[in-house]
Amino acid sequence: MSAAASVPMNMATKYGSDLRNFLRIDRPRPFPVATDSLRLKSILTVKNGNTESPETKPRSARGFGGIETWVFDLDNTLYPHHLNLWQQVDQRIRDYIVDFLHIGQDEAFRLQKDYYRRYGTTMRGLMEEHGLEPDQFLEIVHQIDHSPLTPNPALAAAIAALPGRKLILTNGTRRHAEAVMRRLEIDAHFEDIFDIKAAELEPKPRPVVYERFLARHRVDPERAVIFEDLARNLEVPHALGMITVLVVPKGTGVVLREEWELAGRDAPHVDYVTDDLAEFLRGIAAARGN
């Protein structure tokens, strides 16, 4: 089968030849033991005879038995959405735009959300549309109060129980990621952080970000899983062979996010959905016998 035939046409059209060249089209995708998925159903609820759940929902028969590398997004993935910690960064970005472009808050808000959706980060939009120098921007917008975050021993134990490597892949900065991880007391369990600077200021979901991440850390995508809070950031990893897990807000918290950010849990590139990351990871460890 040719490379062009191996890449779904919608992906090839959307992301271009760099994705086609990066995909390992000559290797069959392994399917680790399916019993992992079956055991995870123990934390599902049953409704009208069908397995459904707002907590954890398996999308495929692929299990976690062959996973060697565990990749985690940072914000709104490793801590609950309802803390709205990212809203501090969000407001600081808006204030920066007001000063940088000499416009009002309303117009700054419109540009911020437009660039975020179209470019992956607001910063990238400002760089490409207005020639922004990113270093000062990154320093200023991440100067936030991390005190809403508290230690999460359940999450720490669940991550520690996973066999293999654990890595952070974030559109934020290393400094911000380290602050978050220290507050959660999970930093000891991670090998490294791949941040926006490591990605050469390119944001997820651009394919080159995943290419650089996988190459730098020598990750086999077919033996890796990625946890993310944005479904669009899982499309390329899924095409590369990674198992994908979408982390969504719990139904009871107030979440200040755009509608499109909360969409995608039914997308074909989302293998699993959970609103309780620690419980989901415990289920994986139990299925593997750890």
Instruction: Tell me: do 260 and 283 sit in the same domain.
Output: yes
Q: Among 141, 160, 175, give the residue marking a domain's end.
A: 141
Same-domain status, 48 and 93: no
State pLDDT tens for residues 122-147.
Answer: 999 999 999 999 999 999 999 999 99
The pLDDT, as a whole number, for residue 3 is: 37
Q: Clarify whether residues 187 and 59 are in a common domain.
A: yes
pTM: 0.78
Domain final position from 95, 115, 141: 141
Together in a domain, 187 and 262: yes
What domain range includes position 201?
3-83+150-288
Q: What is the pLDDT of residue 61?
A: 53
**Domains: count for the chain:** 2
Q: pLDDT per residue over 4-57, tens digit each?
A: 333 333 443 344 444 333 333 233 333 232 333 333 433 332 222 333 443 444
What per-residue confidence (pLDDT) applies to 31?
A: 27
pLDDT tens digits, 59-110: 455 789 999 999 999 999 999 878 878 889 999 999 999 999 999 999 999 9
Residues 77, 182: one domain?
yes
CB contact at 8 A, 73 and 170: yes
Do residues 78 and 93 share a domain?
A: no
Q: Which residue has the tokens 């107030």?
A: 254
Query: Do 201 and 59 belong to one domain?
Result: yes
Residue 158 or 49, more confident: 158
Q: Are residues 283 and 203 in the same domain?
A: yes
Same domain? For 217 and 235 the reply is yes
Confidence of residue 251 (pLDDT cuts 50, 70, 90): low
- CATH label of the domain that carries residue 17: 3.40.50.1000
> Residue 284's closest CA among 175, 123, 160, 191?
160
- Residues 70 and 94 occupy one common structural domain: no
Domain final residue pick, 141, 173, 208: 141
Establish how many alpha carbons lie within 13 A of residue 227's alpha carbon, considering only the half-sphere containing its beta carbon.
26
> 35 and 9, same structural domain?
yes
C-alpha separations of 130 from 88, 133, 134 in Å: 23, 9, 11
What's the mean per-residue pLDDT of the chain? 81
Please give the single-letter amino acid code of residue 223.
R
Question: What pLDDT, on a 0 to 100 scale, did the predictor assign at position 54?
Answer: 38
Position 287 scores a pLDDT of: 86
Are residues 69 and 201 located together in one domain of the fold? yes
State residue 183's pLDDT score. 97
Q: pLDDT of 170-223, one tens digit each?
A: 999 999 999 999 999 999 999 999 999 999 999 999 999 999 999 999 999 999
Domain CATH for 125 = 1.10.150.450
